[in-house]
Structure 1
Amino acid sequence: MATDIHTPTPATGPTTTRPETRNWTPYLLSLPALALFATLLVVPLVMTALLSLNSFGFYTGIENVWRLDNYLEIVRDDYFHEVFLRTFRIAFLVTLLSAVIGAPEAYILRRMRAPWRGICLLIVLGPLLISVVSRTLGWALLFGSTGLINQGLMGVGLIATPIEFMYTETGVVIALTHVLVPFMVLSVWASLQRLDPQVENAALSLGAKPFTVLRRVVLPQVVPGILSGSIIVFALAASAFATPAIIGGRRLKVAATLAYDEFLNTLNWPLGAAVAVLLLAANIVIIVGCNRLVERRYKQVFE
């Protein structure tokens, strides 16, 4: 008759856990980058913010006092309201045009085969390879009353008198869109890399029409890239300086050229610093808000 033999388990005392030691290696490796970031970005921003609190007099110069007079002047003066409104209106139009042009362009490039894909991609990225001043001066030559655009339109009989592109918002929007479309194309391209081409073929094989495939399959995948590209394009367009300064001239002020004039023409550094700080703050608020939309859209698409 078999009997069960139970072996007693040895009693174990209270277990002691060793305190976890923090690994400081990642922090130490990040110190050079943090020091460079603080030196080249944070310190100038803090100095600019402090400068915006000073006062300025034409006979006394910059007075080392702490006041909000510059910000109050910007808030109360309609001239500054018009400049900031124009700045963000131009940035919005440039972002909208970049999305309308860049999203289909990225989709077409993705479906191309080598070597045409590489050639067309190089053409799209071409504006980024040219100096901003040279590129803008080229647009100034095209936009002139005797430029190629007006002469061509008049030659085919579409217009009787030259169209005013120079020193107008239209000219600034066109020139900025030309250089910022590549950022939208790259953002949408990155989103399209997540899309399996076989998904489109499967939808077509199940009887879906091409437009339905674009609307129900491709567009949801592209929207996060469009939102990400819009953030980049809007920030760059709102803070652009060279293109508005050359195409817009002195008559068409935006926030960046206004700050430049306050610094170097009227020598009112505190007021120019206040304009720059408000432009940065407005950009941050808009970018953070759009970033929330991007994150929410990514969760809806990829979760």
Structure 2
Amino acid sequence: MSAAISADPPSAGETRAGLTLALPALMLFTGVVVLPLAMTVMLSFHDWGQYKGIEPVFILKNWIEIVDDPYYAEMFWRTFRVAALATLITAAFGVPEAYILNRMQGPWKGLFLLVIIGPLLISVVARTLGWALLFGGNNGLANKLLMTLGLIDSPVRFMFTETGMVIALAHAMMPFMVLAVWTALQRLDPQIENAALSLGAGSLTVVRRIVLPQIMPGVLSGAIIVFSLSASAFATPAIIGGRRLKVAATLAYDEFLNTLNWPLGAAVAVLLLIALVLIVVGSNALIERRYQEMFR
């Protein structure tokens, strides 16, 4: 005997109750996110002078300066290049790590999960300062270890380089990639792998033909999170990159607090936000299309 489940639309009272419950969160979101963003966008069209300060006029001078000056193009190119490299490293190491974690049993699984998410409990500034101590110039622990292992003949410069920024960012963002892929692996039926193995497929074939296609949405989701956080990161590029090797976040910070050119700093911040939104929206469209192809 089958029971029909009716999906009646919510009544007017239920709708009003839902809106009433959502109103505090909506007000908080508007006050904390929407209004500051709107004020930042408006500020980016204001004028600024060393002696006259900020003038509330509508001009395009800041945006034209960013577009015309190759210095800003270099800053944004470095920002997205470092974020992309950090994302590739986290994917290369995070996906196998999540796969191994998913196959663990008993207390080892909980222990290694704690090891993975443990760095999230520590301030990113403290973690970055730890990397600064490891890099530490020619006599840093990283160079000493690499030279002891025979991987390098002479010390490699890590501080104040893009290489150091990529390594530190990849370490800081690794838990987000691992957790995203591990969540996707939770929805994977292990019997499918066992069936493929029983039919004669090798382990690498199972991973390449069965596991990877099904967890690819998780990999893409993790890549979106890592790329967005890496491109907008401030503490790690500021400590490892220093004053000269700037990215978009540190550039906006300097414009706000050092040169006091708030409108130009606002324009840099808004442009970074627009670029990240476009990248995230495009990536989400790719993920949705991937899901549709999987379940078609």
TM-score tier after normalising by the smaller chain length: over 0.9
Cross-structure match for 1:136 = 128
- Letter paired with 2:129: L
Structure-2 separation of matches of 1:228 and 1:200: 23
After superposition, give the CA deviation of every residue in 1:52-71 in whole Å (9 maximum; x if it has no partner). 11000011011111111100
After superposition, give the CA deviation of every residue in 1:190-236 in whole Å (9 maximum; x if it has no partner). 11111111111011111111111111111111100000111101100
Alignment gaps of 5+ in structure 1: 1-19
Cross-structure match for 1:234 = 227
The question of 1:269 aligning with 2:262 is answered yes
After superposition, give the CA deviation of every residue in 1:124-161 in whole Å (9 maximum; x if it has no partner). 11221111111101000101121111122233444332
The question of 1:63 aligning with 2:65 is answered no
Structure-1 separation of matches of 2:18 and 2:228: 31
Cross-structure match for 2:20 = 28
Structure-1 separation of matches of 2:257 and 2:154: 37
| Structure exhibiting the larger radius of gyration computed from Cα positions | 1
Structure-1 separation of matches of 2:200 and 2:114: 36
Structure-2 separation of matches of 1:292 and 1:163: 41
Residue 125 of structure 1: SS of its match in structure 2? helix
Structure with the bigger percentage of helix: 2
Cα distance change, pair 244–215 in 1 and its aligned pair in 2 (3 A): same
The question of 1:81 aligning with 2:60 is answered no
* C-alpha displacement of 1:288: 0.3
Cross-structure match for 2:277 = 284
Give the paired residue count: 284
Output aligned runs, 1:170-249, within 5 Å. 170-249=163-242
Structure-2 separation of matches of 1:302 and 1:125: 31
Cross-structure match for 2:8 = none
After superposition, give the CA deviation of every residue in 1:242-264 in whole Å (9 maximum; x if it has no partner). 00000000111000000000000
- Letter paired with 1:90: V
Q: Is the 8 A contact 1:52 1:274 kept in 2?
A: yes
After superposition, give the CA deviation of every residue in 1:169-209 in whole Å (9 maximum; x if it has no partner). 00000000001011011111111111111111011111111
The question of 1:258 aligning with 2:220 is answered no
- Letter paired with 1:97: I
Residue 109 of structure 2: SS of its match in structure 1? helix
Structure-2 separation of matches of 1:93 and 1:167: 17
Residue 56 of structure 1: SS of its match in structure 2? strand
Cross-structure match for 1:97 = 89
Residue 260 of structure 2: SS of its match in structure 1? coil
Residue 139 of structure 2: SS of its match in structure 1? coil
Structure-2 separation of matches of 1:153 and 1:216: 36
Structure-2 separation of matches of 1:121 and 1:130: 15
Structure-2 separation of matches of 1:276 and 1:109: 38
With the length of structure 2 as denominator, give the TM-score of the two structures: 0.93
- Letter paired with 1:64: P
Larger displacement relative to structure 2 (283-292 or 211-220): 211-220
Larger displacement relative to structure 2 (202-211 or 41-50): 202-211
Residue of structure 1 aligned with 2:108, choices 116, 123, 141 = 116
Residue of structure 2 aligned with 1:48, choices 36, 40, 54 = 40
> Identity across aligned pairs (percent)?
65
Residue 62 of structure 1: SS of its match in structure 2? strand
Cα distance change, pair 119–48 in 1 and its aligned pair in 2 (3 A): same
Alignment gaps of 5+ in structure 2: 1-10
Cross-structure match for 1:125 = 117
After superposition, give the CA deviation of every residue in 1:111-132 in whole Å (9 maximum; x if it has no partner). 0011111111111112211111
